[in-house]
A and B are shown apart, each in its own frame.
Chain A
């Protein structure tokens, strides 16, 4: 059984640019959640997708957007990058919206 995978592992962007992060969910999982983890802090919930629809959103501005595809993989897009967007971005998949989440290893984004 393949776990949750994320790409790329590391990424460096310049302030004002746009970035797309990708997540492949665990086999059979139809729900994906995205989190931002700043250095030394706990993860903060960005949003969740369930069967290709947004199913809950945390306190993040609209320049954070996402997609879930028919195969349940997902993308996180961030526009107009700011220095404070530098963080580890975690993706988690689950069998359904109310089941245990399995986390990927994360994508480390650095904004300069």
Chain B
């Protein structure tokens, strides 16, 4: 079956540090890959996405590249801010937009 694995949290960083949150997936075929963010007290928001191998999704300084050979979609940001503190979810959809499978989430805390 389809599944998503993320690095365990919580992750605590100082402001302006480099961020990597690892995500690997198991799926048949060519799923679409997503990163969602959940800020405290809010619903899930799409952060970025990639729909085919070697695509790079980017938004708000965050980036992730769809690596089919390593079945990975790691999230990176060069310089985090306190406002980036949130829970980050990696997800896949085997048929774009449907039947989403989410990872368990990684909580990020950024300290000033």
Interface residues, chain A, with chain B CB atoms under 8 Å away: 4, 31, 33, 35, 40-45, 48, 55-56, 58, 90, 92, 94, 96-106
Q: Please, which residues of chain B bring their CB within 8 A of the CB of A48?
A: 98-99
Once the chains bind, are A98 and B89 in contact (CB under 8 Å)?
no
Decide if the interface of chain B is mainly helix, strand, loop or mixed. Answer: strand
Chain B residues 86 to 106 lying within 8 A of chain A, measured CB to CB, are 89, 91, 95-105
Docked complex Cα distance between A58 and B45 (Å)? 21
Q: Is B42 close to A, CB under 8 A?
A: yes
Docked complex Cα distance between A58 and B98 (Å)? 10
Q: Which residue of B lies closest to A50 (CB)?
A: B98
Q: Which residue of B lies closest to A4 (CB)?
A: B43
Docked complex Cα distance between A92 and B102 (Å)? 14
Q: Which residue of A lies closest to B42 (CB)?
A: A105
Interface residues, chain B, with chain A CB atoms under 8 Å away: 4, 36, 42-46, 49, 89, 91, 95-105
Q: Please, which residues of chain B bring their CB within 8 A of the CB of A58?
A: 99
Q: Which residue of A lies closest to B97 (CB)?
A: A98
Interface centre among B4, B98, B99 (most CB of A within 10 A): B98
Once the chains bind, are B97 and A45 in contact (CB under 8 Å)?
no
Q: Which residue of B lies closest to A94 (CB)?
A: B97
Q: Are A42 and B43 also in contact (CB < 8 A) when A97-B98, A99-B97 are?
A: no
Docked complex Cα distance between A90 and B105 (Å)? 15
Interface centre among B4, B36, B43, B46 (most CB of A within 10 A): B43
Once the chains bind, are A98 and B98 in contact (CB under 8 Å)?
yes
Partner of B100, one of A4, A45, A102, A104: A45
